[in-house]
Homo-oligomer: A and B are copies of this chain.
Amino acid sequence: MFLVEGKRSVEEAFKRSELLKVIFLDDNSAEEDHGDIDLSFLDYYLVNSRLMKHICCTENPQGVAAIVKKPLWSWEELLGTGGLLIYLDQVADPGNMGSILRSCWALGVAGVLLAKGSIDPFSPKVVRSSMGAIMNLPVFQNVSDSQLDMLSDRGYKFLCTDINGGTNYYSVKYKRQSLIVIGSEARGVSADLKKRCEQFINIPSNPQVDSLNVAAACAIIIAETWRQYQEETGLA
């Protein structure tokens, strides 16, 4: 189980009521508007502000928190969707991880795979900045080489972001059954992983600039995959 803090995120937990175990409300805010959280449907604990500060990890808790069961996702079902996958190679910053999960959920990614050594996606700051994505988007931790082999066997095309070269991200034709590898903040993508990749993609930018933030780069690339998908399927 994991902790979910703040109104928006607890609203998301409320929508996934099968995962929601306990809600804590600050007794000072019990009478306030709790948005989509309908308190008549569930048990909750009224706690005082001091206790709320102990429960929460933010300095100024928003007066509502919840304990939520980790969602269980099926690897076979994920592969069955044939949808776009993102593989994060040791992304370490919680804000970046949360922002990436949020973008993936918003922009049609079927699932996110995390290499060993990535930050725990259920840690409080990631949960907070994912804004509910962690409860709704299939995320697989400690993804193994044999799982990557399985994806290759099923016809997944491996692409890799590369700050030093490769094809412009908007000149690439993305098929949905792709896995896009995004490197860590500090070291980019590991050499072993690069060997698995058929195509390298690059975001052309001011040559003076070292690189983009990893969450910004990921957003730009998946927005382009989503744009292409919407145009193909006539949703645009």
Contacts and interface: CB of A to CB of B under 8 A. Distances in A.
A176 interface: no
Interface stretch (A53-61, A147-155, A199-207): A199-207
Contacts of A212: 102-103, 106-107, 219
Interface stretch (A71-79, A81-89, A129-137): A129-137
Interface in A64-102: 93, 95, 98-99, 102
A123 interface: no
Given A219-B220, A227-B170, A136 B208 contact: yes
B210 A103 contact: no
A9 to B, nearest CB: 10
Given A216-B215, A220-B219, A206 B102 contact: no
Give the oligomeric copy count. 2
A136 B106 CA distance: 32
User: What is the size category of the interface that chain A forms with chain B?
Assistant: 35 or more
A202 to B, nearest CB: 12
Contact of A215 (B108, B213, B236): B213
A144 interface: no
B106 A215 contact: no
**What 3 A-B pairs come out closest when comparing CB atoms?**
A216-B219, A106-B205, A106-B209
Interface of A: 8, 93, 95, 98-99, 102-103, 105-108, 129, 131-133, 136, 168, 170, 203-206, 208-213, 215-220, 223, 226-227, 230, 236
